[in-house]
Amino acid sequence: MPPLLIPLGSNQLTLVPCSVLDAPTKENAKAPEMKARRPKSSLPPMLGTESDATVKKKPAPKTPPKAAMPPQIIQFPEDQKVRAGESVELFGKVAGTQPITCTWMKFRKQIQESEHIKVETSENGSRLTIVAARQEHCGCYTLLVENKLGSRQAQVNLTVVDKPDPPAGTPCASDIRSSSLTLSWYGSSYDGGSAVQSYSVEIWDSVDKTWKELATCRSTSFNVQDLLPDREYKFRVRAINVYGTSEPSQESELTAVGEKPEEPKDEVEVSDDDEKEPEVDYRTVTVNTEQKVSDFYDIEERLGSGKFGQVFRLVEKKTGKIWAGKFFKAYSAKEKENIRQEISIMNCLHHPKLVQCVDAFEEKANIVMVLEM
């Protein structure tokens, strides 16, 4: 194409070269349009099918049924020690296939609810509540749980501590002289869950007629001095432990010093009842370390317990006689020696009104004294 003349101003012209481009073809004209319409993507093209358009959901996993389980006690208290009057709660948590039955027992007998004992049971466990603990609540408690697949049990010992019981029996005066006598007595049937530390001896006379504290001692006998011959005396004893002082024992018989016992008459009428009474068999007891108490006695129900140990009813196999077996806990040599000394003292205290020791056995962890009932 020839150059064009472009006016610049008045009377001035300039030459400007120009060129003509061919018109774009239809294909070239659509290319930019298609290019503009094509979306940009970093992913490679994928071929889709009809099935790909549907999102498949995975089925939820099925929870397998729980396997049947025998009962289990998964929580249970340790041994308990409480003061008298305090409340006690024993709770056992259980697991296993329901239904589970829970039974509380004491000394193998089912516990019945009462004013002082309550039992609450649910699927999770069972609770035994003692409203105000007393001496009779001491002992071994067992929780028995059962279902159709089996049973399980757990035990807990409950100790209720308190001041001791009064010394058992009646204090007895012996070896009576012009101004003195020996007073003897037996220990408490229950020590309150703590060993008796001492005894308080009280005296009453026929002139003052009031009870006074005479002395405190550690043994179960005391030599009373400076008594007057013109009056009669009575005695009683209290036991003392860390929790307090017991009520007084029974009172001794009235006793006067300076009197000689009457000589037995040559001829005494003996009734049929007197003939049937067996003579007191005083024995000097030595501790048997070779044999066991069960070799000679059948051990039956428990009669009492305390920190010292336990007392059981014994039946002598040879004769069928009934005795009391006092089982002392004795782990150390010192503890065993203390019990041997007590046996030696009882060997010296021979009196119809004093409980006699008739046998003794030493085993691995205890010493057993066989006593009159």
Which residues participate in the annotated binding site for ATP? 326
What does each C-alpha distance from 54 to 57, 58, 60, 227 come to in angstroms? 10, 13, 18, 116
How far apart CA 3 and CA 130 sit, in angstroms, is 125
* Sheet strands side by side (includes 244-245): 212-217, 198-205, 233-241, 244-245
Taking a C-beta distance cutoff of 8 angstroms, is the pair 332, 275 a contact? no
- CA-based nearest residue to 90, from 135, 131, 151: 131
- CA-based nearest residue to 244, from 192, 301, 318: 192
List the beta strands (DSSP E) in 148-243.
150-161, 172-174, 181-184, 198-205, 212-217, 221-224, 233-241
How far apart CA 80 and CA 217 sit, in angstroms, is 31
Q: What is the DSSP string of 111-142?
A: PPP-SSEEEEE-SSEEEEEESS--GGG-EEEE
- CA-based nearest residue to 235, from 260, 259, 211, 206: 211
Annotated binding site: 326
Please list the alpha-helical segments (H only) found in 77-206. none
- CA-based nearest residue to 367, from 341, 354, 168, 242: 341
How far apart CA 39 and CA 45 sit, in angstroms, is 12
For residue 180, the Cα-to-chain-centroid distance in whole angstroms is 47
Classify residue 350 by its DSSP letter: -
The full length of the chain comes to 373
